[in-house]
Structure 1
Amino acid sequence: MEEVKKRIVIGASELFHKYGIRSVSMDDIARHLTVSKKTIYQYFKDKDEIVTLTLRAHMEMEMKEYDEVFEVATNAVEELALVSKCMRKDFKDMNPSLLFDMQKYHPGAWKIWLDFKNEFIKDHVVSNLKRGIEEGYFRKDIDVEVMAIFRVEQVQLAFDDSVFPSDQFDFKKVQMQFFNHFVHGIVTEKGLELFEAYLEKTLQQE
């Protein structure tokens, strides 16, 4: 991606992350980057294209980030602790209207998100659950497929303003409550003890 185009994608992504998609205009992006709107239109035909490319860039970054987690973790519980660390960083100051705006106004980007959720995230959850069961850290009676779907739908549910209004709930806290509830539902006693030790260690590093 050429430098100017990349800069526009990064700048737009910062605004979408903080304010949501619908409330950010092309003028806002231009002001944020101190460039003319004409410059932006030299690289993008419309806002929808910017949304799609910013999402693709974000997904690629997340895939790299989570792949690294699964490469370095020595067991399934450490994977969970490192994922928790990534989530605290990724969801910090994120506007929960992001997904609603995407679903309603940017169907192309919405499909990219659904594919990412239903394939990449779900596959990693399945792998983690299978590994944890084999290692004895997760309960043997878990239905891996059911729990993987449950987990990815939890992530999406936290974005739903009709369920968790942003003026009443802190988005990051909702996501972390879901995650911790999920973890406590799958671990054995041995797994929980190890998870809490890993979690304390990661929190101290932040």
Structure 2
Amino acid sequence: MEKEPQLCDMIREKAGEMYFRLGFKGVTLDDIAQEMCISKKTIYQHYANKNELIAAVAGTLMQMIFTEIDTIAGSGYNAIEELFEIRKFLRKTIEDKYQLATFQLKKFFPEVSVKLNNSKFDRMQYCITNNLIKGIAEGLFRKDINIDFVSRIYFTGISGTKDTNIFPDELFSMDALHLLFLEYHLRAICTPEGITLLDNYLKENP
């Protein structure tokens, strides 16, 4: 039986709405079916199980995020401004809204989480590599940095800031933590010209 693309998308969108509002753990396929006034059997015609549906929902969100990041990267910002604009987008769009769902994905659906994290690493390394190349060409980042190393360290650092055992909420808000990490990253790779631009940016955008 051929799947109906429209219904398949509608199921994914409704599931995403419910997952990100209530968490991945608490929402069952029965809940989604009831909300859509369809049978659970209909969901199974499009998604083999809950894990497959969760992977589709999370994958769609990730694609949306990186499409917007690509748009920001092509908007004419210099390499330093670009990273801050991406941070603004992520802070405004996803950090608080999807925090519960992200935590539950890692805890209760580890196989899905690992696959998505691998995909996230590939996309983020691509974005950061391009940012580093741009910054070097603009004279804002040092020419002697190891791009492959820095791009991997950046991913590791961003991922590490989400570990509340190391960075407890009572010591660091997520927004402040990401700003601290971004400044740490930039001061490690900037040329004197880049440091001046960074300092001016931070003064103008407290």
Does residue 113 (structure 1) correspond to residue 138 (structure 2)? The answer is no
Whole-Å separation in 1 of the counterparts to 2:50 and 2:82: 36
Kindly state the Cα deviation for residue 48 of structure 1 after the two structures are TM-superposed.
0.5
TM-score by length of structure 2 reads 0.76
Instruction: Give the % identical residues.
Output: 25
Cα displacement string for residues 138-184 of structure 1 (whole angstroms, at most 9, x for unaligned residues) = 13342222211111112222333433355765434433332232223
Counterparts of residues 24-103 of structure 1 (less than 5 Å): 24-30=27-33, 33=35, 35-36=37-38, 38=40, 39-89=42-92, 90-95=94-99, 98=102, 101-102=105-106
Kindly state the Cα deviation for residue 53 of structure 1 after the two structures are TM-superposed.
0.4
The change in CA–CA distance for 1:169 and 1:67 in structure 2 (over 3 A counts) is same
Whole-Å separation in 1 of the counterparts to 2:194 and 2:29: 49
Does residue 3 (structure 1) correspond to residue 12 (structure 2)? The answer is no
1:131 aligned partner: 134
**SS where residue 72 of structure 1 aligns?**
coil
Does residue 191 (structure 1) correspond to residue 194 (structure 2)? The answer is yes
Whole-Å separation in 2 of the counterparts to 1:199 and 1:139: 20
Kindly state the Cα deviation for residue 5 of structure 1 after the two structures are TM-superposed.
2.8
**SS where residue 99 of structure 2 aligns?**
coil
Deviates more, 1:120-129 or 1:100-109: 100-109
Whole-Å separation in 2 of the counterparts to 1:17 and 1:51: 11
Whole-Å separation in 2 of the counterparts to 1:67 and 1:108: 24
1:160 aligned partner: 163
Q: What one-letter code is carried by the residue in structure 2 that aligns with 1:135?
A: E
Query: Residue 105 of structure 2 contacts residue 113 of structure 2 at CA under 8 Å; is this kept in 1?
Result: no
Kindly state the Cα deviation for residue 54 of structure 1 after the two structures are TM-superposed.
0.8
Query: Residue 96 of structure 1 contacts residue 159 of structure 1 at CA under 8 Å; is this kept in 2?
Result: no
The change in CA–CA distance for 1:166 and 1:193 in structure 2 (over 3 A counts) is same
Whole-Å separation in 2 of the counterparts to 1:57 and 1:100: 17
Between Structure 1 and Structure 2, whose CA radius of gyration is higher? Answer: 2
Whole-Å separation in 1 of the counterparts to 2:100 and 2:203: 27
Q: What one-letter code is carried by the residue in structure 2 that aligns with 1:61?
A: M
Whole-Å separation in 2 of the counterparts to 1:129 and 1:49: 35
The change in CA–CA distance for 1:155 and 1:28 in structure 2 (over 3 A counts) is farther
**SS where residue 43 of structure 1 aligns?**
coil
Cα displacement string for residues 22-41 of structure 1 (whole angstroms, at most 9, x for unaligned residues) = 3433345456x454562544
Higher relative contact order (CA 8 A, sep 6+): 1
In structure 2, runs of 5+ residues without a counterpart are none
In structure 1, runs of 5+ residues without a counterpart are none
The change in CA–CA distance for 1:65 and 1:166 in structure 2 (over 3 A counts) is same
